[in-house]
Amino acid sequence: MTPMQAHARRPFRSLVLCASLGAGGLTGLSACGPTGAEPNAAPEAGEAVGEGWTQEAVEALSLEIQGAIEELAGQPFKSPVAVKLSDGAGFVRYATERMERLVPPQEFERDADAARLLGLIPPDMDLLAVTMGVLEEQVGGFYDPASDTFYLMESFTGPLARVILAHELTHALDDQYFDLDAEMAQVATQSDGGLAYSSIVEGSAMVLMTKWTMREVGAGRLDPAELMNSDTIGVEAAASSPAFIWKPLLGAYMAGQAFFMSGYSIDKKAAKQEQRKADINALIARAYAAPPRSMEQVVHPEKYWSSAERDDPRRVQHPGDDLPEGWEIVSRDTLGELYLALFLEDPEDLVFPDATTMMAMSYTNPGASGWDGDELLLLKHATSDAQAVRVASVWDDADEAAEFAAAVEASRERLELGVARLAEVWGDGAAHGLRVLHEPGSSEVSLLLWAGAPAEALATLAFQAD
């Protein structure tokens, strides 16, 4: 049983919430962020909800699990965590109001346009509607740091509800010690850093949830067979959506947990030499104090945990003072290794995993490995609907850069077909294209995709990396 996450980034922003989803062997989907919205009001104590819950029952279960989480984390809750019951409609209302607070509708549409240009979603997809559909189908519960309240979906009962509670109560405990909102507000403005921090939030909850689940199974209080019966919950919407939606969600959970487990293995070796005991809770606190700066450090944990192999990203920036006449920058972002790996994959080849294949899923590929930094620009033409996306990237060495450039060229037919379809919507259908710039021996690669108007001059915009 493993959760996955919805999170907000720029430009690929979905949600910054704490929500648990059940799907394809997943216990939950969680992310964190404040909101002024409140889901459907909880029933009065003792009132029956759905087929199995009363408010009194869910409060009693929450208190029981809070005690277990305190023991496993080695620290107490500083204040009570309220628990209420809600439903899918209540969650969607909460999520929608949260989204509107973070990302104005016009900004989200710009994010979707960048994804369309990169071939990550179909030209006619309503990204917000599809994302909300996935969440509404799967949501099992969510934690709101602003009110220190956990909401359990009334339709989730039995052992799955208990696992969801363990996961979300870990978020609540982490929030009381590490102020999840404060850090998320700092990193949510760009895709790579926001997803990396979300991976720490979800990885922490996965570690404690897994420890709690193993203990409960060992004590005979949870039946593994019953947990596996949840494998088919909420898979249809996720399975029919692009990997651009579901793969980062899974990555925050699965790669986040692997990040901590790899760190624990590295720390065990050091602890043996230093004659001390390795402590995964101490590693979680360390990661919250100084979070990984990129998904590269999450999917390659040694690049964060090992001092000898530490690899922090370089900052890439376009000054923007050499724009051709008629073009303006409407959005900037850092994609990072995971999103560039998705960009290199044919969406038709990416299938939503089952509980078995999920464990072996990779969140990078050879073309994206060796990433060292990037900046994406979404550009719009002032007098037409034409748009373009330019990505300037730097790599660990010239060979890694050449491999990325070659991987983009190998995808040329698919990418050009995508912008050709967009050109029919944004222009006369004629002006579209892809340019890839890489000089032999250079560790820099620039690429440009455009649709709706001539934009070749954007391919040579100046940028700097430090």
- Side chain identity, residue 329: I
Residue 236's pLDDT is what? 81
Token pair for residue 252? 């925050």
Residue 52 clears pLDDT 90, i.e. is over it: no
Residue 117's pLDDT is what? 97
Pick 253 or 233 by higher pLDDT: 253
> Please, is 395 exposed, middle or buried when counting C-beta atoms within 10 Å of its C-beta (0-12, 13-18, 19+)?
buried
Q: Torsions phi, psi of 438, nearest 5?
A: -150, 120
Output the CA–CA distances (angstroms, integers) from residue 379 to 21, 30, 108, 198, 435, in the order listed. 35, 32, 15, 28, 15
DSSP H/E element including 153: strand 149-153
> Please, is 306 exposed, middle or buried when counting C-beta atoms within 10 Å of its C-beta (0-12, 13-18, 19+)?
middle
Cα–Cα dist 145/201, whole Å: 13
Residue 9 clears pLDDT 80, i.e. is over it: no
Q: What's 397's DSSP letter?
A: S
Q: Torsions phi, psi of 432, nearest 5?
A: -165, 165
pLDDT band for 206, please (50, 70, 90 cuts). very high
Residue 143's pLDDT is what? 81
Spatial contact of 389 and 458, defined as CB atoms under 8 Å apart: no
Token pair for residue 44? 């009065």
Of the listed ranges 145-149, 233-237, 278-282, 346-350, the least confidently predicted one is 233-237
Cα–Cα dist 171/256, whole Å: 14
Token pair for residue 125? 């997809």
pLDDT band for 230, please (50, 70, 90 cuts). low
Beta bridge partners of 152: 85, 141
Burial 149-187, CB ≥16 within 10 A → b, else e: bbbbbbbbbebbbbbbbbbbbbbbbbbbebebbebbeeb
Of 143, 42, 59, residue with least CA distance to 95: 143
Q: Pick the most confident of 193-207, 236-250, 264-278.
A: 193-207
Decide: helix, strand or coil at residue 354: coil
Q: What's 389's DSSP letter?
A: E
Residue 51's pLDDT is what? 54
Share of the chain above pLDDT 70, in %: 86
- To the nearest 5 percent, what fractions of the chain are helix, strand and coil? 50, 15, 35
Give the mean model confidence (pLDDT) for residues 13-22: 48
Residue 375 clears pLDDT 70, i.e. is over it: yes
Residue 19's pLDDT is what? 53
Give first-to-last CA distance, the chain, whole Å.
Answer: 41
Of the listed ranges 40-44, 49-53, 62-66, 295-299, the least confidently predicted one is 40-44
Decide: helix, strand or coil at residue 451: strand
Residue 27's pLDDT is what? 36
pLDDT by residue (tens digit) across 110-148? 889 999 999 999 998 998 889 888 877 777 778 887 788
Residue 233's pLDDT is what? 58
Beta bridge partners of 395: 371
Residue 142's pLDDT is what? 80
Cα–Cα dist 14/11, whole Å: 9
Backbone conformation region of residue 17, classed left if phi is above 0, alpha if psi is from -120 to 50, else beta: beta
Cα–Cα dist 318/422, whole Å: 25
Decide: helix, strand or coil at residue 463: coil
Of the listed ranges 21-25, 133-137, 243-247, 268-272, the least confidently predicted one is 21-25
Of 262, 293, 242, 278, residue with least CA distance to 125: 242
Give the mean model confidence (pLDDT) for residues 9-29: 43
Output the CA–CA distances (angstroms, integers) from residue 106 to 16, 86, 95, 109, 465, in the order listed. 18, 29, 17, 5, 30
Give the mean model confidence (pLDDT) for residues 263-286: 93
Say how far residue 133 (Cα) sits from the centre of its chain: 17
Neighbouring C-beta atoms of residue 311, cutoff 10 Å: 18
Residue 33's pLDDT is what? 39
Q: Average per-residue pLDDT in the chain?
A: 85
Q: Which residue has the tokens 């009132």?
A: 47
Pick 449 or 98 by higher pLDDT: 449
Residue 18's pLDDT is what? 52
pLDDT by residue (tens digit) across 77-118? 999 999 988 887 777 787 777 777 666 677 778 889 999 999
Q: What's 312's DSSP letter?
A: P
Residue 103's pLDDT is what? 64
Of the listed ranges 50-59, 383-392, 434-443, the least confidently predicted one is 50-59
Query: Cα angle vertex 445, ends 439, 449, to 5°?
Result: 115
